[in-house]
Amino acid sequence: MSIYIELFLTFFIIGMFTIGGGYAMLSLIQNEVVTVHGWLTDTAFTDIVAISQMTPGPIGINSATYVGYEVLARAGASEFMSILGSFTATFAVVLPSFIIVLLLCKVYERWKDHHIFKGVLNGLKPATLGLIGTAAISLATPENFIDWKSYVICIVAFIALYLKKIGPFAIIGLGALAGLLIY
C-alpha cells in the first residue's frame, strides 16, 4: 500500500512543478524515479522515454503510465497491481494541473475584460508562439533529420499541411509509409 502512496505523492509533485510541457517533465521524472527513489535504472528509464515518444499521446502521460507500471512490476507485483500502479501515477500527474487550470478558467471568465489581464494575455501570446517555434527548431536535429530525404519529407509535409491538402492525422500515417518505403 505504501508504494502507491509514495507513487501518488511523487507524481503529484512532478505534475505540479512541470512548466513547459512533456520534455520538461521527463527530467523531473528521471530525477525522482531514478535518482531519488531508485525505482528504475537509467537504462530502463531511457527505454521508457523512447517508447513514450513512439506511441501516441502526450509524452508526460505516456511516461507516467509506463513508469507506474514498471515500478510495481519490477518490485514483483502481479499484473493487476502493476496496472493499478500505472493508474496511480497517471492520475497523480494530471491532478495538480487539473485543479490549477480549472481555477484559471474561472479567473479567465471573470477577468478576461480587465485591462491588466488583457495586457498579460496579449504579452503572453507572442511569447507562446516563440516557444512553439522553439519546439520545432529543437526537433530539427541530426538524429531526426538523418539525410536529405528527411528534408524532402519535412518540406512536402509542410506544404501539404499549409495548403490544407491533407489533415494532421493522415500526414503522420503518410510519413510512416514514406519511412517504410524509402529506408
Partner 1 sequence: MISLWKIFSVFAKIGAFTIGGGIPMIAAIKSELVERKWLNDEDFIDIITLAQTAPGLFAVNISILTGHRLRGTKGSVVATIGSCLPPFLIILLVAMFFTSFKDNEYVIKAFKGIRPVVVALIGVPMIDMLRATKMNWWKWIVVISSMILVCFLSVSPIYILICVIVMAVFISWHNNKKIREKKI
Task: Tell which positions 10-49 bind partner 1, by CB under 8 A.
Answer: 15-25, 47
Contact 178, 153 (CB under 8 A): yes
Select from 41, 102, 110, 165 the one that contacts partner 1 (CB under 8 A). 102
CA angle centred on 26, ends 176 and 121, rounded to 5°: 90
Determine, following the binding rule CB under 8 A, whether residue 84 of this chain makes contact with partner 1: no
Binding span for partner 1 by CB under 8 A among 3-11, 27-35, 114-122: 114-122
Among 13, 81, 84, 171, binds partner 1 (CB under 8 A): 171
Asked if residue 148 binds partner 1 (CB under 8 A), the reply is: no
5 is an interface residue for partner 1 by CB under 8 A? no
CB of 13 to partner 1, least distance (A): 11
Q: How far is the CB of 67 from partner 1 (least distance, A)?
A: 10
Q: Collapse the DSSP code of 183 into the 3-class scheme (helix H, G, I; strand E, B; otherwise coil) and give the result.
A: coil
How far is residue 89's CA from residue 10's CA, in Å, rounded to a whole number? 8
Half-sphere exposure of 20 (CA within 13 A, CB side): 11
Nearer to partner 1, 5 or 17 (CB): 17
Closest-CA residue to 53 (of 139, 182, 156, 168): 139
Our finding on whether 168 is near partner 1 (CB under 8 A) is yes
Residue 14 CB, nearest approach to partner 1 (Å): 10
Q: How many CB atoms lie within 10 A of CB 162?
A: 8
Q: Which three cell numbers stand for residue 111?
A: 477577468
Give the separation between CA 106 and CA 117, rounded to whole angstroms.
Answer: 13
Determine, following the binding rule CB under 8 A, whether residue 167 of this chain makes contact with partner 1.
Answer: yes
Q: Which stretch binds partner 1 (CB under 8 A): 2-10, 32-40, 125-133?
A: 125-133
